[in-house]
Structure 1
């Protein structure tokens, strides 16, 4: 019995050492680079979405910026309640080179009407129902709204928020990036 424990212990130690060696030797500059985008963010930046005026906009224009993506809909009461606060937050974020984007899971006409009526101070894009899948890819397993994603300048998802935002928490998370 003691012999078996020693043999298994030696095998485990040898496996651990070889695992550390091989994983360390396979790190490439691209894999260790902070500039490498996460695959889901890279996919996000390959997309173009119509803005609230119906004009197609490439999301790649925001690559390299810190982003706050807010998935919302006109029929979602908590979404609508937090939008005036988010408009105010965009004014604070602009000097810090942080961009807030609204990704609407709604019809183009509803989003256009909403944008005009409420004078939202950040870009609103129309994703329609495909926006639900996009939010799932970014971490929204429940598929609920509102859903917000904080993406760093390095193209990595830093944090996700499901439900109505607590602005103090979001401000703190942005400041710590």
Structure 2
């Protein structure tokens, strides 16, 4: 039953599937959704402040974001930090030169995102098209050699 459920979740994340709806909140408490970025590709970083491998990817992500600045792509980071760690997350993103678009999933959204995207471990990266549909639910990491080729092909 668990395998079947995972398979169903994975089917929903195949290329061309609409991205799961999620309520995202920025550091100022303003709510957003993926629909707010329609018209551009979206490269999504699922991460958390307590995740060592996630933090290790940040410099490569920043470099990638600078390299593609002004192109038809938006870089969005979604933190899985718990509600109790809200201030820790805010401090973390303010002290580092993180990308401009930083969100944290609240407790309900966190669980919904994890299940619908079939996220078992982080960091995890994904790409959505201009209509908010999945291009790759398990995209190459920013530090990988493949990511630029993938993005260049889209853009």
TM-score (norm 2): 0.74
Q: Are 1:108 and 2:86 counterparts? A: yes
* Structure with greater contact order relative to length (CA < 8 Å, sep ≥ 6): 2
Q: Work out whether residues 25 and 103 of structure 2, in 8 Å CA contact, stay in contact via their aligned partners in 1.
A: yes
Q: Work out whether residues 75 and 99 of structure 2, in 8 Å CA contact, stay in contact via their aligned partners in 1.
A: no
Q: Are 1:99 and 2:74 counterparts? A: yes
Structure 1: tracts of 5 or more residues without a match: 1-36
Task: Tell me the residue number matched to 2:47.
Answer: 72
Task: Tell me the residue number matched to 2:61.
Answer: 86
Structure 2: tracts of 5 or more residues without a match: 1-15
Runs of 4+ with >4 A deviation = 162-165
Deviation per residue, 1:109-136 (Å, 9 max, x gap): 1221111111212311010443253143
- Cα gap change, 1:133/1:163 in structure 2, threshold over 3 Å: closer, same or farther? farther
* Larger radius of gyration between Structure 1 and Structure 2: 1
CA–CA distance in 2 between the matches of 1:121 and 1:79? 14
Higher helix share: 1
Number of residues of Structure 1 aligned to a counterpart in Structure 2: 135
RMSD: 2.3
CA–CA distance in 1 between the matches of 2:68 and 2:29? 25
